Amino acid sequence: MAALPEPLDPRALRVAAMVRQDLADRRTVAELARAAGASARTVERLFATETGMSFGSWRIRHRILAALERLAYGDSVGDVAFAVGYESASSFVATFRQAFGTTPARYFDSPQV
């Protein structure tokens, strides 16, 4: 998984900052955009143009990267899942598997290149 590209526009940066401040925040893109002084459509366009991914994909990648760090420090999968905004450990594991091709336990049991 590649590093997380950052938006440049101040409105998109405000949305990104809100996501970083609370990874478990479940507000929709429309709610976050409104709080950042933009429309959902504008935020979606800015993320697509400036990061190369939709806002939803960007938020998922951000959550997974933050989760990876916590898992590396030994936090449990369940604790990490809830901390980064998933309703269940199984939904987090499914997203993790989609991103890395394996479960968190197997990821940390195998040597990384």
The string of pLDDT tens digits covering residues 54-88 is: 999 999 999 999 999 999 999 999 999 999 999 99
Domains of the chain: 10-109 (1.10.10.60)
**63, containing H or E segment:** helix 55-72
**Whether the predicted pLDDT of 1 surpasses 70:** no
Q: Which two tokens stand for residue 5?
A: 């590209």
Contacts of 12 (CB under 8 A, 6+ apart): 36, 38, 43, 46, 47, 50
At 11-39, the pLDDT tens digits run: 999 999 999 999 999 999 999 999 999 99
C-alpha 66/C-alpha 23 separation (Å) is: 8
